[in-house]
Amino acid sequence: MEHRTERVGHLIQQKIGSLILEGRIKDPRVSPFLSVTRVSVSRDLAYADVYVSNIKENGNIPRGVAGLQSAAGFIQAELAAFMRIRKTPKLRFHPDLSLREGFDLVQKIDKLVNNDRSPDSP
């Protein structure tokens, strides 16, 4: 059963990503820079939590998530046609800030390392 939920999650991630890239979601809040980072599907396939990030540095992730949630009915219909399963999971979109937080952490570490190497440090 676990493999099935993982497989369904992967298919959902793939299809939503292609809908975003192809510009098929007409909501202006949904930017082509949005990226589906992961999908977690419930064991009974009733719900799918979709985590979204923005690859653009100043991207507004919550706005994009709201746009995707608004288009959830259209996305679910597209998924139903694509996946051909009895019941398409209800989509719940969430912002995924881990990429941004990881990037910020790397920048802070680089800054600390560069400060240690400066000639005026003891």
- Cβ–Cβ under 8 Å, residues 11 and 82: yes
State pTM to two decimals: 0.79
The DSSP secondary structure of 64-118, one letter per residue, reads: HHHHHHHTHHHHHHHHHHHH--SSPPEEEEEE--HHHHHHHHHHHHHHHHHHHHS
User: What are the pLDDT tens digits along the chain (122 aa)?
Assistant: 678 899 999 999 999 999 999 999 999 999 998 999 999 999 999 999 999 998 776 668 899 999 999 999 999 999 999 988 888 999 999 998 776 677 778 888 888 888 876 665 45
Structure tokens at 102: 């990881």
**Residue 4: per-residue pLDDT:** 87
- Cβ–Cβ under 8 Å, residues 91 and 76: yes
Q: Which residues make beta-bridge pairs with 57?
A: none
Written out in words, the top-level CATH class of the domain with range 2-97 is: alpha beta
Domain ranges of the chain: 2-97
**Residue 98: per-residue pLDDT:** 75
**Residue 2: per-residue pLDDT:** 77
Phi, psi of 42 (to 5 degrees): -65, 155
Between the CA atoms of 107, 108, 110 and 111, what dihedral angle is there, to the nearest 10 degrees?
120
- Cβ–Cβ under 8 Å, residues 59 and 33: yes
